[in-house]
Amino acid sequence: MKSTDFPKDGRRKYENGIMTINLPSWRDFCSIIEELKAFPDYKKYVWRGQRRDDQPLWSTFDRKFRGMKENERKELLEEHLKRFSDTRHEVLGINKGEENDEFWAIGQHNGMFTPLLDWTKNPLKAEYFAFVEKAKEGQSEYRVVYGLHKRLSERLLNIRKKGKTTIDKMRFIEFPNVENMDNSRLKAQGALFTKALNGVDIKTNVRKCQTKRPQEIILIEIKIPDREREECLKSLNGRGINHATLFPDDYGVAKYCNLKLEIDNY
């Protein structure tokens, strides 16, 4: 998609490969998604929801340990992953196997700090994750759903191979292949992950990559008012998107029941 594909609209802003859309209501979200579906490369985008629109697209590890030097970060990650593998073996009797991105994915879905960032193939599920958590002190005015072009890493590699520009290794974004994992949560959520090398946030990566092709939209940023949380969650629940369906286990059922208590007519 390119910024020139869209009519000029005061709600939209385009900057170095990023299209930002400010919505007046959660009801407009589905209309925007239907508009985007008309484009041939729509299915190449993956989606992520965040409670705040002013937080970087960082993994839990990089939020916790940001600013580390490259070698220090690499050593700490290797130590952290090995400890996870060893402890699973000691406590649960699970074979260690190869310490790889599947181990990171298991840790990610069980609350461990990892270099992975969660995404989903379904924008409505991303919207749910943007709104499910209650507002906290200092909550921003908007929640946000991001759409990221899934072939970003391939584009960066191709640019580098053709020698058209120099791409620093800090700017690469990988999409680890964990789709073969037998994990009910991953399947229910249509989940996949990104891994930004050296912890650089994704928006920074996109801006640097697209300085010479700013009209090409690599990242979509859709902002939705925080005040409409309950109405949004009720609508998504009516579509079958809730914790019980996204986390098909006791944890998901318990969180679903909590929301039934918290929100009238949920």
pTM for the predicted model, two decimal places: 0.87
Predicted local distance difference test score (pLDDT) of residue 258: 96
Predicted local distance difference test score (pLDDT) of residue 154: 56
Residue 232 CB partners (closer than 8 Å, separation 6+): 26, 127, 131, 224
How is the beta sheet containing 191-196 ordered, strand by strand? Answer: 12-15, 18-22, 219-225, 142-149, 45-50, 116-120, 191-196, 173-174
Q: Is the dihedral of CA 226, 231, 237, 239 positive or negative?
A: negative
262 domain-assigned:
no
173 domain-assigned:
yes
Q: Which amino acid is at 41?
A: D
237 domain-assigned:
no
253 domain-assigned:
no
68 domain-assigned:
yes
251 domain-assigned:
no
Number of domains observed in the structure of the chain: 1
CA distances to 45, 52, 66, 126, 220 from 33, rounded to whole Å, are 11, 20, 33, 12, 11
Predicted local distance difference test score (pLDDT) of residue 167: 46
Residue 38 CB partners (closer than 8 Å, separation 6+): none
Which residue in this structure is represented by tokens 């909550």? 139
250 domain-assigned:
no
Predicted local distance difference test score (pLDDT) of residue 48: 95
What is the residue-level pLDDT of the chain in tens, covering all 266 positions?
A: 777 777 777 788 888 889 999 999 988 999 999 999 988 889 889 999 999 999 999 999 998 888 888 889 889 999 999 999 889 888 887 776 666 788 888 888 888 999 999 999 999 999 999 999 998 888 999 999 999 987 665 555 455 444 444 444 444 677 777 665 667 777 888 778 888 777 778 888 888 777 667 788 889 999 999 999 999 999 999 999 999 999 999 999 999 999 999 999 99
What range does the domain containing 126 cover? 3-227
261 domain-assigned:
no
